[in-house]
Amino acid sequence: MPDMQRFREVVDEAGCAIIGQTGNLAPADRRLYAIRDVTATVESVPMITASILSKKLAAGLDGLVMDIKTGNGAFAATMDFARELAHAITGVAAEAGLPATALITDMNQPLASAAGNAVEVQNAIDYLTGRKREERLHRVVTALCAQMLLAGGLAETFDTATARIEAVLAGGAAAEHFQKMVAALGGPSDLVEKAGRHLPAAPVIEPVYPETAGHVIAIDTFAIGNAVVVLGGGRRRARDTVDPAVGLTQLAAIGERIEARQPLAMIHARSAGAAAEAAATIRQSYTLGTADAVRPPALIRERIGKAP
C-alpha cells in the first residue's frame, strides 16, 4: 500500500488512484464495526452512516458521490432502506460541510456480464477500451461520473458532464489514465494492451445450461455471488484466501432469450467439481419464463442530495 506521499504523486501523474485505507484512518471505526456485529446492529442506519462518513470526513474530501445499491443482491435489499440510508448519508455529510450526492441503483441482477476478480478486471479494461461496453454498466458509470464532474465544478450541467465522459472514452483518454495509474502503483505498464499476459486464468472453463429454454424474468443476484464464493472467488471467513482466476462470464441478463443449449453463464473454475457445484447454484439463480412476464427493473432509481 503506498504511503501518503506516493498516493499524492500517483494522483498528480495519473489523475486518479485506487487504494485501501490503513488502520490510521478513523481507527475507532473498526472497533465500532465489531460491536455492531455482536449486537445485531449491522443494519443500523445511524451506525452505517457514522462508519462511512467517519472515514470520508477524516480524509478531507471536497465532495462525495455515493452509489447505493438496492435489490436482491444488495445490502439495502428494499428501496425504503436504500432511500433511508441515502438521506442519512447525504444529510449528515451536508451538516458536516461536505457536499454529497447519492444515486440509488439497481442490483436485482449483476451490473455486467462478469463476476469475480480477474474476469471483472478484464471486463473493466474492455469497457475502457471500447472492446465491449455493456449498456447497464455504461449507464451507471456515466451517471456516477457525471455527478462527480458536477461536484468538482468541472461541468455545469448533467448533459455537458455526460458529453465529456463520452469524449474521454471515445478518444482513449480514460483507458490511458487507467494504465498510468496501474503502472504508477506498481502494476504492469502494458496491462491494458496485454491483459491476458498478466491476469490469471482458471484451468477449467465450462458452460452452464438452463433446464429449459425461455426468457430470463428474474435473477437471484445474491446467489450468483455465492456461486463465485463456491468457486473460491470470495471469502466465507476473514482468514480465507481468494482465488483471483475464478469467476463467471457471459452472465445472461433479465429479458434475454436463452435457448436450451445456450449458456446462462460460463464458469471459470479451479476444478471440474467446483464448476459443477457452482453450476447447480447458477441454475437455481435464474428464473426463465415467457416474454410477456419480463419486467426489467429500473436501473437508476433515484438521486438524493443537494444539486451542486
Euclidean distance between CA atoms 52 and 39, whole angstroms: 19
Cell output for 276: 459443477
- Would you kindly state where each structural domain of the chain is located, as residue ranges? 4-194+299-305, 200-293
pTM for the predicted model, two decimal places: 0.92
Euclidean distance between CA atoms 149 and 158, whole angstroms: 9
Widest pairwise Cα distance in the chain: 57
How is domain 4-194+299-305 classified at the CATH fold level? Pyrimidine Nucleoside Phosphorylase; Chain A, domain 2 (3.40.1030)
CB 297 within 8 A of CB 254: yes
Euclidean distance between CA atoms 303 and 10, whole angstroms: 31
Superfamily of domain 200-293: Pyrimidine nucleoside phosphorylase-like, C-terminal domain (3.90.1170.30)
Measure Cα distances from 158 to 79, 154, 155, 301 in Å: 24, 11, 7, 17
How do the pLDDT tens digits run along the chain, 308 residues long? Answer: 667 888 899 999 999 999 888 878 888 888 888 888 788 888 899 999 999 999 999 988 999 999 999 999 999 999 999 999 999 999 999 999 999 999 999 999 999 999 999 999 999 999 999 999 999 999 999 999 999 999 999 999 999 999 999 999 999 999 999 999 999 999 999 999 999 999 999 999 999 999 999 999 999 999 999 999 999 999 888 788 999 999 999 999 999 999 999 999 999 999 999 999 999 999 999 999 999 999 999 999 999 997 65
Alpha helices in 39-78 (DSSP H): 45-58
Euclidean distance between CA atoms 223 and 179, whole angstroms: 33
